[in-house]
Structure 1
Amino acid sequence: MNQDCWYELTIHSLGLESGGKQAEISIFEDGIEIDRLAFRGRVSMEGPGYRKFYSGRPGLTAEAASGDFEFTFRPISHQRLGKMTDSPQHHA
């Protein structure tokens, strides 16, 4: 039985030249796209960036699907998640 794993997605450098843009990030499981997340707005390189929490099976990966931006997608522990937020978003 696979147990859920939590991931932290952080976006930087989105829409800086034009005052706002859209970005799409594809989430993959075993090389198959299982989800696509869309973001619109402006996020600078400085500071914490825009952060979103995502849950799914262990071993998920993410790739930029469209847009010009920087991002990280990494697994995090349940203990660290509890310190960061009280209500993360869950995806099946």
Structure 2
Amino acid sequence: EFGPMVRRVQQENPSLRFCISLPDLRQLIEGKAKSTGPLKTIRIDPTDPCVFQLSGGTTGIPKLIPRTHNDYAYNSKTAAAVCGVTPDSVL
């Protein structure tokens, strides 16, 4: 049902490499849960976006903010260091 919109967005944004449309997330999750095989391993570039966060729009129209895998790795490592988390910690 989102096919025409996805194609239009891709045509208007030629740098967009992937566009994922999920008409029914619950069905997708349930289908994967029934799968017995291993998930495919993929190589992730740490500088690639992993999440597009929506700004609050305090300076005008809200914008998408690309957050990279590196952003979240750094945040996790720094938070663990600040909190004194070690390999012996129990969370």
TM-score, with length taken from structure 1: 0.22
Q: Highest relative contact order (Cα 8 Å, sep 6+), 1 or 2?
A: 1
TM-score, with length taken from structure 2: 0.22
Question: Which structure is larger by alpha-carbon Rg, 1 or 2?
Answer: 2
Q: Which structure shows the bigger proportion of residues in helix conformation?
A: 2
Q: Which structure shows the bigger proportion of residues in strand conformation?
A: 1
